[in-house]
């Protein structure tokens, strides 16, 4: 199973990703409270919002579980 959460898109062009190094920071176009999609095997199964937990970590609060037809 491949699970992923789409939180945002990088602000820099995709080709800049080739020059990333450990410790690099990639700014996203989203912040706490922004919408996020929860995907399973490439299919969106839920909607949520970005939240800050434990004083600095990020998470996703699920706001809607999608039906198979959605």
pLDDT number for residue 58: 78
pLDDT number for residue 66: 93
CB 28 within 8 A of CB 8: yes
Q: What is the pLDDT confidence band of residue 67, given thresholds at 50, 70 and 90?
A: confident
* pTM reported for the whole predicted model: 0.62
User: In 10 A of CB 30, how many CB atoms?
Assistant: 16
| Residue 50: CA count within 13 A, CB half-sphere | 16
Residues whose CB is less than 8 angstroms from the CB of residue 9 and which lie 6 or more positions away in sequence, other chains included: 28, 29
Q: What is the pLDDT confidence band of residue 59, given thresholds at 50, 70 and 90?
A: confident
pLDDT in tens, 4-52: 766 666 565 555 556 677 777 666 667 888 888 888 887 888 988 888 8
């Amino acid at each position: 199973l491949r699970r992923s959460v789409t939180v945002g898109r990088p602000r820099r062009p995709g080709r800049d990703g080739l020059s990333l190094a450990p410790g690099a920071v990639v700014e996203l176009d989203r912040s706490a409270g922004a919408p996020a999609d929860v995907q399973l095997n490439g299919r969106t199964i839920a909607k949520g919002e970005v939240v800050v937990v434990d004083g600095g970590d990020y998470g996703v609060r699920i706001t809607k579980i999608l039906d198979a037809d959605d």
